[in-house]
Amino acid sequence: MEAELEVTTKNRLKTVPTGSVLVVDDDDDTRLLVLRALEAGEIPCSGASSGEDAMAQIMVNPGAVDTVLLDVALPGIDGLEVLRLLKLSPATAQIHVIMVTGTATLDSDVIRGVDAGAAGYLSKPCSPSVLLAKVRFIRKQVVGERKLRDQLRIVSLQAMTDPLTGLYNRLNFEARIVEAEAHARRSDTPFSVLLLDLDHFKTINDTHGHRDGDRVLVHFANTIHAVMRADDVAFRYGGDEFVLLLPACSATRAVDVAERLRRWLSSSPFRFTDGSDHVIAFSAGAAASQPQEGYSGESLVSRADVALYRAKAAGGNRVER
């Protein structure tokens, strides 16, 4: 029975449960004892017999392991090198590592490990109760940090998104166009922007009210989504102005996108709350980044803005480039 349990446990070592503790120790007896203690404490866990085995298991699904019990002395790459590799990669840098040593608590390797980012250390042999207390404390920290990262991610997304239309906002556009400019320089491929401004939007607000005005903006944003390519990104630039960022796109192609948007709007008039229908019209300015300008995003937006002004001055409901 004991032999069957050992074989079963060894087979289970290669499965990494989500949110698990990975026990890395080249001594089979020690590793199995630790795994049994964790399982008795209802902590999901798996094991690895070497640094290479540990890295292979972690890299299959970096998000599955949140804590590593890592022996300092391992064959092949040792515990300190495994720690260094984990902290080096953005995909694994958040994993908490507890260094395990069979030597004195002031061992220089342990000190170097803590300096390198280990969450703490344990000395062998270690009682199951102390082991579980340490692991539970670290895992509580993991949960707290994960919640904080999720909250920060949500706040960051909200800061970059227009709450009315769900499109990205101007702040996001200003960050994205810098990235697009850098990519264009590397690939020597132009990108385009399309500035869009609703025609007679003030009249819509004055006639039908701001609630219907907001509904028009949402309708327009949804129609933009319908005509975009997979790589295109739409933003609410401010008020009734919108912008499309079009990677690997010429000015001619940008004009085509605007014309397709016009056709979609013409085929689906907007219905106001008073029951009247109205085709939403817009003016647009299109421009492509140019190699002689270093694919400058600032120059590109300036030229698109001038083109938009020409479209407005010519009576609106048109695209200029």
Q: What is the pLDDT of residues 212-271, one digit of tens each?
A: 999 999 999 999 998 898 899 999 998 999 999 999 999 999 999 999 999 999 999 999
Q: Give the domain CATH number at 174.
A: 3.30.70.270
Q: What is the pLDDT of residues 111-129, one digit of tens each?
A: 777 788 888 888 888 888 8
CA distances from 159 to 122, 167, 221, 231 (A): 42, 12, 18, 22
Among candidate residues 121, 123, 119, the one with its CA nearest the CA of residue 141: 119
Check if the beta carbon of residue 16 is closer than 8 Å to that of residue 61.
yes
Q: Is the pLDDT score of 56 beyond 50?
A: yes
The SS3 assignment for 78 reads coil
Question: The tokens of 224 are what?
Answer: 């933009």
The residues near 104 (Cβ < 8 Å, ≥ 6 apart) are 123
Instruction: Report the pLDDT value the prediction gives residue 11, as an integer from 0 to 100.
Output: 39
Instruction: Tell me if 127 is assigned to some domain.
Output: yes
CA nearest neighbour of 198 among 234, 257, 241, 244: 241
Q: What angle do CA 300, 303, 304 make, to 5 degrees?
A: 85
Do residues 154 and 216 lie in contact, with contact meaning Cβ atoms separated by under 8 Å? no
pLDDT in the model for residue 35? 93
> Would 163 be classed as within a structural domain?
no
pLDDT > 70? residue 2: no
Same structural domain, 132 and 188: no
How many independent structural domains does the chain possess? 2
User: In this structure, is residue 165 part of a structural domain?
Assistant: no
Q: In the chain, where do the E strands start and end?
A: 20-24, 45-48, 65-71, 96-101, 120-123, 192-198, 233-238, 241-246, 270-271, 277-278, 282-288, 319-320
Decide if 7 contacts 98 (C-beta within 8 A): no
User: Do both 139 and 226 map to the same domain?
Assistant: no
Tokens of 210: 């701001």
- Cα 313 to chain centroid distance, Å, stands at 41
SS3 labels along 257-285? HHHHHHHHHHHCCEECCCCCEECCCEEEE
Q: Is residue 105 pLDDT above 70, yes or no?
A: no
Calculate the average pLDDT of the chain: 87
Compare 8 and 205 and report the one with higher pLDDT: 205
Instruction: Tell me, yes or no, whether 239 and 200 share the same domain.
Output: yes
Residue 30 lies in a domain: yes
Query: How much of the chain exceeds pLDDT 90, in percent?
Result: 60
pLDDT of residue 104 exceeding 70, the answer is no
187: part of which helix (H) or strand (E)?
Answer: helix 170-187
Q: What is the DSSP letter of 19?
A: T
* Residues written for the chain: 321
* CA neighbor of 285 nearest in space, from 253, 307, 254: 307
On whether both 38 and 93 belong to a single domain, the answer is yes
- Residue 162 in domain: no
164 part of a folded domain = no
Helix, coil or strand: residue 102: coil
- Supply 264's token pair: 């979609």
Q: Provide the pLDDT for residue 103.
A: 61
Residue 161 is assigned to a structural domain of this protein: no
Range(s) of the domain holding residue 266 = 170-320
pLDDT per position as a tens digit, 299-315: 999 999 999 999 999 99
pLDDT tens for residues 7-46? 333 434 455 556 789 999 999 999 999 999 999 999 999 9
Q: pLDDT tens for residues 270-294?
A: 999 999 999 999 999 999 999 999 9
Flag whether pLDDT at 73 surpasses 90.
no
> Same domain for 147 and 182?
no
- Write out pLDDT tens, residues 189-202: 999 999 999 999 99
Q: Each residue of 21-38: b (16+ CB within 10 Å) or e?
A: bbbbbbeeebbbbbbebb
Nearest Cα to Cα of residue 107 among 84, 123, 85, 125 = 123
| Encoded tokens for 161 | 């998104």
Cα(first)–Cα(last) distance of the chain, in Å?
A: 80
Asked if the structure places residue 118 within a domain, the reply is yes
Same domain, 148 and 188: no
The token duo for 39 is 């399982």
Three-state DSSP class for 98?
strand
